[in-house]
């Protein structure tokens, strides 16, 4: 009787392994780039066709391979990076399992061109089997071309996301590798369009400039410190340039890009009270540690690791970030950027990186300008609001009778009265409710009214952000924000909805775009709700802002016309009422 247990066919085993190692085109790029880095390359080029779905080509100038090694590279668990069990606890290379190339080859068509300077070899594989072999060029280095990814596993191909999402994931990974290895030149091209080209001269600040742009590069602080277990270097951003995505946090451990929740939590805790809870700081952390203190073999993609002395890392990283934040001037300032300022920053990055920070800290801010910027609530004529009210909402049918302001306490709480009693109104919460309902109505319009800009607004993004935004650009058009591409990773806003407050157009657009970049999946209702809440909070008068008697009356009249005048969008009360009976009772004027 034949045994029911049989040794698995190698091709089948490789396809199963590919399910863990190769989930999408980004995983292929990751494995090939890491092999190029391990080969000692100083230049790595990544050329894609349709975000790597049709073709991925990775070229390097590393040490290359001889004919025998080229054949062995496609055998499962064949590796030059581990010789014995002890090596597993002292891993200094990015790859070590020997699973990547056979897994990739099993679900695609692969061509390998490599040379160690002595002999050149060209191999062609389909479905994991070598179909053709020939001699190649003697130019030292390796080029691997992967075509028709998942052609023999259509189920996996079906679950790939759209091209923009796949390309954004690849761009994000290459960005992080460029930050990890500033001494290597990375060139990323998709459909013949160059997305990234770093200098490879070892200047990390220059790489940050290439990825995030001039505005971020000007506001980065150098970071360096060590203890008996860890050595940390990198750059951390000013709180004012915080991003809406946690991808702004780049963590590297011994040169390996990782995603680690513990590290993210340390960084966010250190920035606590400096940035809003829905924002993430721009920070590049390069952590060097003895390989014996970490375990990188806990996930198939090697994107997470385990620290054996996390407490000492927490202490070191927290102290470094907090010290930098406390000694740095963090007052935001308004500046305009032109070509001259860009060239100036480029020169500073090239020659004297530290001078950027010294110049930034010497800026003088006019307190009067800050106060003017903080007064966000724009008072309109009451007749306009009455004309624009929903037909079913009439002032005479409001749930609260008209209130008349008599004063204000602590420039925050409006005291009002009517024939029924006395009211205390939180001016910020009330303005939030008014603006929230206004924005909710305007964002839900099918054909919003727009206003052209005399001077277009230019917004710059990182590679990854720009790719994700291009996928959702029609959403901006639907709500009345008309924009177009302009140069490298830049959008130019030509017109905006008429309901934007004058002078707050750019801030409103940035808030909306920030919300679009927070999640992969888009749901219109949730987006409209979140946008209305966010804009209402940011664009309303604040506590301690001066409001005139006339403006207070208008604020109260508009509040009473709201569908729900009792709470702000966050659920805080807008009004506390004291009836006539309550007042008389408090002052012992009524008989209980």
User: pLDDT per residue over 80-127, tens digit each?
Assistant: 443 444 443 444 445 444 467 888 888 888 999 999 888 899 999 887
Pick the CATH number of 213-361 from 3.30.230.10, 3.40.50.2300, 3.80.30.20, 3.30.365.10: 3.30.230.10
> What pLDDT score was predicted for residue 99?
67
* Strand residue runs (E) in 393-443: 404-409, 413-418, 421-426
- Dist CA 307 CA 274 (whole Å): 27
Phi and psi at 544, nearest 5°, equal 75, 0
Domain boundaries for CATH 3.30.230.10 within the chain: 213-361
The H helix count followed by the E strand count for the chain is 21, 22
Domain boundaries for CATH 3.30.565.10 within the chain: 10-201
- Between CA 429 and CA 436, with CA 433 as vertex, the angle to 5 degrees is 130
Domain 10-201 grouped into CATH 3.30.565.10: yes
Q: What are the pLDDT digits (tens) for 387-402?
A: 333 333 333 334 678 8
3-state secondary structure of 512: helix
> What pLDDT score was predicted for residue 334?
42
Helix, strand, coil percentages (3-state) for the chain, rounded to 5, are 40, 25, 35
Share of the chain above pLDDT 70, in %: 75
Q: Which stretches of the chain drop beneath a pLDDT of 70?
A: 1-21, 76-99, 151-161, 273, 296-304, 328-399, 519-522, 590-592
> What pLDDT score was predicted for residue 153?
66
CA-CA distances (angstroms) from residue 136 to 36, 55, 118, 120, 141? 19, 21, 11, 4, 11
Fold (topology level) of 382-578: Ribosomal Protein S8; Chain: A, domain 1 (3.30.1370)
Q: Could you please report the per-residue DSSP string of 362-407?
A: T----HHHHHHHH--PPP--HHHHHHHS-TT--GGG-SS---EEEE
- Dist CA 370 CA 381 (whole Å): 26
> What pLDDT score was predicted for residue 395?
38
pTM of the model: 0.63
Reported as half-sphere exposure (CB side, CA atoms, 13 A), residue 146 has a value of 34
In sequence order, which residues have a C-beta less than 8 Å from that of residue 214 and are 6 or more positions away? 337, 341, 342, 345, 346, 460
Domain boundaries for CATH 3.30.1370.100 within the chain: 382-578
Rounded to the nearest angstrom, the gap between the alpha carbon of residue 249 and the centroid of all alpha carbons in its chain is 8
Q: Is residue 467 left, alpha or beta, with left meaning phi > 0 and alpha meaning psi from -120 to 50?
A: alpha
> What pLDDT score was predicted for residue 84?
44
- Dist CA 75 CA 102 (whole Å): 6
Number of Cβ within a 10 Å radius of residue 60: 26
Q: Are 205 and 345 in contact (CB under 8 A)?
A: no
């Amino acid at each position: 009787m034949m045994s029911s247990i049989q040794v698995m066919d190698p091709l089948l085993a490789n396809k199963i392994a590919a399910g863990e190692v190769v989930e999408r085109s980004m995983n292929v790029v990751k494995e090939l780039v890491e092999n190029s880095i391990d080969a000692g390359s100083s230049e790595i080029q990544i050329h894609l066709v349709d975000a790597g779905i049709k073709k991925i080509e990775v070229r390097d100038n590393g040490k290359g391979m001889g004919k025998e090694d080229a054949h062995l590279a496609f055998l499962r668990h064949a590796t030059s990076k581990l010789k014995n069990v002890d090596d597993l606890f002292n891993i200094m290379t990015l790859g070590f399992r020997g699973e990547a190339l056979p897994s990739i080859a099993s679900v695609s068509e692969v061509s390998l061109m490599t040379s160690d300077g002595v002999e050149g070899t060209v191999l062609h594989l389909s479905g994991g089997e070598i179909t053709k072999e020939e001699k190649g060029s003697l130019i030292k280095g390796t080029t691997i071309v992967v075509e028709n990814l998942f052609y023999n596993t259509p189920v996996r191909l079906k679950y790939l996301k759209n091209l923009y999402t796949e390309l954004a994931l690849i761009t994000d990974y290459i960005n992080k590798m460029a930050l990890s290895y500033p001494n290597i030149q990375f060139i990323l091209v998709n459909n013949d369009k160059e997305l990234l080209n770093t200098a490879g001269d070892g200047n990390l600040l220059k790489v940050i400039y290439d990825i995030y742009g001039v505005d971020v590069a000007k506001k980065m602080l150098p970071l360096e410190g060590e203890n008996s277990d860890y050595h940390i270097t990198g750059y951390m951003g000013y709180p004012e340039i915080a991003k809406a995505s946690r991808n702004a946090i780049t963590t590297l451990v011994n040169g390996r890009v990782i995603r680690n929740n513990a590290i993210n939590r340390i960084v966010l805790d250190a920035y606590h009270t400096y940035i809003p809870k829905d924002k993430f700081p721009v920070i590049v952390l390069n952590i060097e540690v003895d390989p014996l203190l970490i375990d990188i073999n806990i996930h198939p993609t090697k994107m997470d690791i385990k620290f054996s002395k996390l407490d000492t890392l927490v202490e070191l990283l927290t102290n470094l970030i907090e010290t930098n934040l406390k000694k740095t001037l963090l007052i935001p300032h308004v500046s305009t950027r032109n070509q001259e300022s860009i060239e100036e920053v480029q020169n500073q990055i090239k020659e004297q990186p530290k001078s950027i920070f010294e110049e930034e800290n010497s800026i003088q801010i006019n307190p009067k300008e800050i106060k003017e910027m903080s007064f966000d609530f724009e008072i309109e004529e009451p007749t306009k609001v009455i004309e624009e009210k929903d037909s079913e909402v009439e002032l005479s049918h409001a749930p609260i009778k008209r209130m008349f302001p008599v004063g204000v306490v602590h420039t925050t709480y409006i005291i009002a009265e009517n024939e029924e009693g006395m009211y205390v109104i939180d001016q910020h919460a009330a303005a939030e409710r008014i603006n929230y309902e206004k924005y909710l109505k305007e964002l839900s319009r099918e054909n919003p009214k727009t206003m052209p800009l005399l001077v277009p607004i230019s917004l710059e993004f990182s590679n990854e952000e720009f790719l994700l935004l291009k996928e959702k650009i029609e959403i901006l058009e639907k709500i009345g924000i008309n924009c177009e591409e302009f140069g490298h990773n830049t959008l130019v806003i030509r017109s905006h909805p008429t309901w934007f407050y004058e002078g707050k157009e750019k801030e409103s657009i940035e808030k909306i775009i920030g919300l679009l970049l927070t999640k992969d999946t888009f749901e219109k209702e949730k987006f409209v709700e979140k946008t209305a809440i966010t804009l209402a909070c940011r664009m309303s008068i604040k506590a301690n802002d001066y409001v005139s008697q006339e403006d207070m009356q208008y604020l109260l009249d508009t509040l009473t016309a709201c569908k729900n005048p009792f709470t702000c969008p966050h659920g805080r009360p807008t009004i506390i009422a004291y009836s006539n009976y309550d007042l008389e009772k408090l002052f012992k004027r009524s008989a209980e």
